[in-house]
Every structure is written in C-alpha cells, then in structure tokens.
Amino acid sequence: MTLPDLSLTRSDELQDIVAKVEAGDRLGFEDGLRLFRSHDLLTIGQMADLVNRRLNGGEYVYFNQNRHINPTNVCAFHCNFCSFARFSDDAPGAYTWTPEEIVERIRPDVHPRVTEFHIVGGLHPVLGFEYYEDVLRALKQAYPRVHLKAFTAVEIDFFAQLTGLDHETILRRLIDAGLGSMPGGGAEIFHPEIRRKICPEKADAETWLAVHDTAHRLGLRTNATMLYGHIERYEHRVDHLLRLREQQDRSGGFNTFIPLRYHPENNNLGRRLDWTTAHDTLKTIAISRILLDNFPHIKAYWIMLTPPIAQLALHFGADDIDGTVVEEKIYHDAGATTEEQLDKFDLLRLIKAAGKTPVERDTLYNIIEIYDKPIEHYAPDSRKTRRGEVKITHIELN
C-alpha cells in the first residue's frame, strides 16, 4: 500500500492561479472555470481569504439590525424557481398589505438600533406604481431614521413597463418617496440559455445591469446577487460574475455581492439530484471573492446558507453576514429551515466564535459599533424566543 503524501501543500493543479492572486492579477473566464471544477477547497479558500484581507483587513465582519418587508406576494411573473408568488389576489395564501398595515405590522420590531428596511416583493398586476411609492412614503413618514433599501432592478423595470416611464424617472420618483439604496435581487443567472428557462418574463441581463448603471449614476449604492445550485452549470456562474465585474468597472456603485443558494421546495423547478452542498456553497463564496476583486464586500446571507455555513464562509472570503431580518418569506416558502430571526447576540456569538470582530454597520457600511470586548460583555439577561421571554443564566468560568 502506498502512503498518502502528508506534506502541507496539496495538489499543485491551482499553483498558477495562486501566483496570479498573490500578485494581484485579475483572473479570466478559464481561471474561474478551473476554480469551480477543482475540489481543492482549502487552496481556493486561502486565496479568497487573501483577497478579503487585502480589501477589508480580514478582521471585521459586518452585520446590521434590519427588518425585511415583503408588501405583497401577488405577482404577474411566473419564475420557475419561485415559491413565494401567488398569481391572483384570491389564490390560497395570497396577500397584499396596505402601506398603513405595513407601518403597524412592523411597529413592535422597530427599536432604535434598527437602521434598515429591506423591501422586495411581488410585481402586482393591477395595483400600479403609486402603491409602491406609497409604501416607501408611509414607512419614511413613520420611521424617518430608517434607511429604505428597496425594490430589485426587476421591480424597477416592471414599474417602467407599467407607467411607460424610463428607469431614471422611476428611480427619481422613488428617491423622492424615500428610497435610499437598492438590493441585489432579480439577477438570478444572467446567461440567456438559463434565464430563458428559469425566469422567461424577467428583465434580461442587459436590462438588469442597465438599471443598476442608472442607479449608480444617480448616486444610489446597490447590491448584486446570483441564484446558484439549480440548472445552471459552472460556465454560467463564471459568466455571471464576470458580467458583474465589468459593470462595476463601468459604474462602481455596487457595495456587496450575495450568492443566493437555491431552495427547491414548492416551485416548478424542484430539486436536481446534485442539488447544492456545503462544499459547493463555500467554493462559490470563495470564488466570488476572488473574481469580484472590485466589489467591496461579499455577504454570507445566513438565512440562505444556515448560520453554521455562514460562519464558516467568514474564512472563505465573506466579510458580511447580513442582519437580524425578523420576518422572511421568500426562502421559507421554498423550504428554508433556518430561523427567520437572529438577535444581535446570536450574530455576535457566530462572528466572535470564528475569531473575527463583529462590526455593526448601517446599509452604506458606516460603522455604528465595533464589538471588540469578550462575548460575555454583550450577553443579555433575557431574550425573546418563540416560547416567550427566556432568562439567560450567566455561568462564571474559572
């Protein structure tokens, strides 16, 4: 029997790519494809960690205290991966909240440290653009301090189609109503071969990128996403990431990239045999960090990845873990088994146990607080759970 090679260096299949990353050279399409095809997760993770340390110092991990709001699940489009949409107002489970209902629904959750509402939802076929403006206006009036990160590029394009106005006019009207920035959803997979199959009615790649281009020109910061782990191949992921990198070179307004792990329940697309795994997720996070050398931040969205994998991702290039969230429908309708809410202490524990320093931020990455004392310092005396208020016992360790 031959003994395995037990030296610290693994296979040298990626050595030329390692050399490029160390030198700060940009990787191309073939490099990206080789990284996705490789199983050498630790080498890929080390490269991602290097890029993260170069861009962000590697010590801080960002989170915020946010609240998600999905104003309606009634939608004119039929995306095959979506489990959230209902196609008419009287379909089982369909809902549309009025602006006033939204303001009251979230009131118990809006404590002084909540700095962001993340607002995305269905493309309601009859309500009209004014409904969406009114939602922003009502929230801004009731909670003037809270930043409104609202509406994906797909929603902006839908409003343009509804009204006959161009993207710039739509964005200007939303800014007037209180819009502060845009989330990254709706990007899915840009390549037409896949986009046609998973979301045929949605704005195409060029339109999605053009909306972000316009937003950046108007001074808005935006995010970008990629929905992975369904019917796309590695080529499509690399193509997606490189299109985002080119757009960022042109307009420079992206803050954060968020890989979104596909959830397969209750939709038309269902589950493929080789549905995504933890290994694939960590590799995708890491390769995103390496290829998107002009994006300031990579987010390991704990709702999508589960908290344990999001925590590991902090050593694979991610420097953001999203926030408290509070109410989440899109992924839970699709079978997500995570909680809908983590409180601040949960997030601090996850980040600190990974050896990093938690930093509470606002949407635009202004620092609110750096949590650099030992974790005991931040432990609450009690916490809210599904079973009500529970006291926390503080044990003295010696």
Binding residues for ligand V47, rule: CB under 6 A, are: 81-83, 120, 152, 183-186, 188, 223, 225, 227, 258, 260, 262-263, 267, 301, 330-331, 334
Least spacing, CB of residue 398 vs ligand V47, in Å: 42
366 sits in the region (left: phi over 0; alpha: psi -120 to 50; else beta) called: beta
Kindly state the tokens that stand for 366: 């202004």
Least spacing, CB of residue 258 vs ligand V47, in Å: 5
Q: Which is nearer to ligand V47, 40 or 362 (CB)?
A: 362
Least spacing, CB of residue 6 vs ligand V47, in Å: 40
221 with 181: CB under 8 angstroms?
yes
Least spacing, CB of residue 187 vs ligand V47, in Å: 7
Least spacing, CB of residue 393 vs ligand V47, in Å: 34
Strand spans (E) along the chain: 60-64, 66-69, 116-119, 147-150, 179-181, 222-228, 254-261, 297-298, 320-323, 357-361, 367-370, 382-385, 388-391
390 with 95: CB under 8 angstroms?
no
Q: Which residues pair with 254 in a beta bridge?
A: 222
- The phi, psi pair for 351, rounded to 5°, reads -70, -45
Least spacing, CB of residue 374 vs ligand V47, in Å: 30
Cα separations in angstroms, 319 against 154, 276, 326: 27, 22, 21
Distance CA 36, CA 19 (A): 17
Q: Which is nearer to ligand V47, 225 or 311 (CB)?
A: 225
Closest residue to ligand V47, judged by C-beta, is 185
Distance CA 233, CA 363 (A): 32
Q: Which is nearer to ligand V47, 138 or 199 (CB)?
A: 199
Least spacing, CB of residue 329 vs ligand V47, in Å: 10
Q: Which is nearer to ligand V47, 63 or 129 (CB)?
A: 63
Q: Which is nearer to ligand V47, 183 or 253 (CB)?
A: 183
At 265, the amino acid letter reads: E
Of 220, 192, 194, which is closest to residue 207 (Cα–Cα)? 192
Least spacing, CB of residue 196 vs ligand V47, in Å: 16
Q: Which is nearer to ligand V47, 60 or 77 (CB)?
A: 77
Q: Which is nearer to ligand V47, 225 or 284 (CB)?
A: 225
Q: Which is nearer to ligand V47, 178 or 184 (CB)?
A: 184
Query: What strand order describes the sheet that includes 254-261?
Result: 222-228, 254-261, 297-298
